[in-house]
Chains A and B, each alone.
Chain A
Amino acid sequence: MTSLLLAIVIGAAFGAVLDRIGATNPTYIDRMLNLTNLNLMKTILLAIGTGSVLMFGGQMIGLVDVGHMSVKAAYAGVFLGGLMLGAGWAASGYCPGTGVCAAASGRKDALFFIAGGLLGAAAYMMTYPMWKASGLLDDVAGGKVTLGTVPDSGYDGLTAVSGDLVGIVLGLAFIGVAFALPEGLRPARVGTVAAE
């Protein structure tokens, strides 16, 4: 019961914040991805950095239970799947989380995204044995690994460096990049400029 209550509180907070940073609006997503307006990228980098510093800092002082970490496996399909997701993300302006939030915010096109997503997930369920047999789902570089070694996390480290320290340093680096990035990397072309 407690766990469902937490799901409701944290889930609702996540959905509301995604909406307030503009992530439920494909216009902002694609202005980020076509590099004309990086505000959302700065937001996300700052969020990852803030989360990382708090989480690893919390683990160091014993506030955060290391057992809460959940590290996914590394395999060739992660990169391949990432490429597919990236292409669909840019074309539609939605990813799974922002798609469901956008539908809830009243966007009809997001309902089509969800329908396509359910079919895509079902297609993967059908074709999973083929991927499994291909070897592309086999672990690389140790599979479920973190960049440093986090004691008692149950995950191996890619390097022997203190995982908590790596987490805090990388977290600060994410925050630094968020501040260093310019507002945009390419000029936005307004109006009826002919396509190249």
Chain B
Amino acid sequence: MPLNWKTGGVLLGLVFFMAVLLVKPIGVSTQFVILDGIIGDLVNPDLVTQTDDGFASSNAYLNKSGGKYAQAVAEPMNYSFVFVLAMMAGAFASTLARGGLDRAERTMPALWRANFGDAPALRYGVAFLGGFIVLYGARLAGGCTSGHMMSGMMQTALSGYIFAAGAFAAAIPVSILMFKKEA
């Protein structure tokens, strides 16, 4: 069972506060681009190159904002990339601490199974497609649920509100249509 919303909400709020107090607001989706860049640069070493005053890329997106992303690709041991690796370690430890996931949950969540049956291929296919449009959309928007919605609205950023309006305008109807049966 997850934490009571009051305890969980205060804990999560403290993490947001700790992040902005000590470093900067939390964000995640950029690191998908950085990992893509790292992989791309392994295949094609000309993707990211060092210049006199920093880093540049043959890809216009990695090269934007003065090669900020290009630099992160060239130097992956930076705050934001390590942050996401640490998130995974934290979630892993938390799952272990609450006894781990059973086999059925490891394949697919209960609510999915109740609505679409237990064929893994369908679940994996939708998870893959979902991942594609989530990250395409997040990069188009310039952030995701963490950076735009949570960190953005926390800072009273106009963009955070615009993003949240778009995200829920699509997410609520899609979820209502897809998940009609309770698990």
Is the A/B pair a real complex?
A: yes
Report the bound CA distance from A90 to B90 in whole Å.
24
In the complex, A62 has a CB within 8 A of chain B: no
Query: When A19-B94, A21-B2, A147-B156 are in contact, do A120 and B133 touch as well, CB less than 8 Å?
Result: yes
Q: Which residues of A contact B107 (CB under 8 A)?
A: 108-109
Q: Are B166 and A124 in contact (CB under 8 A)?
A: no
Decide: A97 and B146 in contact? CB cutoff 8 A.
yes
Please indicate which of the listed interface residues B11, B93, B162 has the most CB atoms of chain A within 10 Å of its own CB: B162
Residue from A43, A80, A116, A124 in contact with B12 in the complex, judged by beta carbons closer than 8 Å: A43
CA distance A136 to B80 in the complex (A): 27
B140 touches A100 (CB 8 A): no
**Does B159 lie at the interface of the complex (its beta carbon under 8 Å from any beta carbon of A)?**
yes
> Smallest distance from the beta carbon of A162 to chain B beta carbons, Å?
11
**Known A17-B15, A178-B5; contact A113-B174, beta-carbon cutoff 8 A:** no
- Contacting B at CB under 8 A, from A64-94, are 64, 68-75, 77-94
Q: Which of B86, B151, B157, B163 contacts A12 (CB 8 A)?
A: B86
Q: A107-B106, A121-B139 are in contact. Are A14 and B134 (CB under 8 A)?
A: no
What is the CB-to-nearest-CB distance from B71 to chain A, in angstroms, rounded to a whole number? 14
Shortest Cβ distance from A191 into chain B, in angstroms? 7
Q: Which residues of A contact B93 (CB under 8 A)?
A: 12, 16
Known contacts being A34-B179, A54-B17, A92-B127, is A79 close to B150, with CB within 8 Å?
A: no
Question: Is the beta-carbon distance between B10 and A14 smaller than 8 angstroms?
Answer: no
Residue pair B131, A33 in contact (C-beta under 8 Å): no
Contact in complex: B133, A17 (CB < 8 Å): no
Across-interface contacts of A51 in B (CB, < 8 A)? 12-14, 16-17, 20, 150, 154
For B80, the chain A residues whose CB sits under 8 A away are: 7
- Nearest chain-A residue to B130 (Cβ)? A92
| CA of A73 to CA of B141, assembled, Å | 9
Closest A residue, CB atoms, query B160: A72
Q: Say which residue of B62, B109, B161, B175 sits within 8 Å of A125 (CB atoms).
A: B62
* Given A39-B2, A84-B137, A128-B60: A55 and B178 interface contact (C-beta under 8 Å): no
Q: Are B82 and A11 in contact (CB under 8 A)?
A: yes
The B-contacting residues of A in range 104-138, CB under 8 angstroms, are: 104-110, 112-126, 128-129, 131-132
Known pairs A64-B21, A106-B100 / 5 extra A-B pairs, C-beta < 8 Å = A50-B17, A85-B137, A85-B145, A124-B136, A125-B37
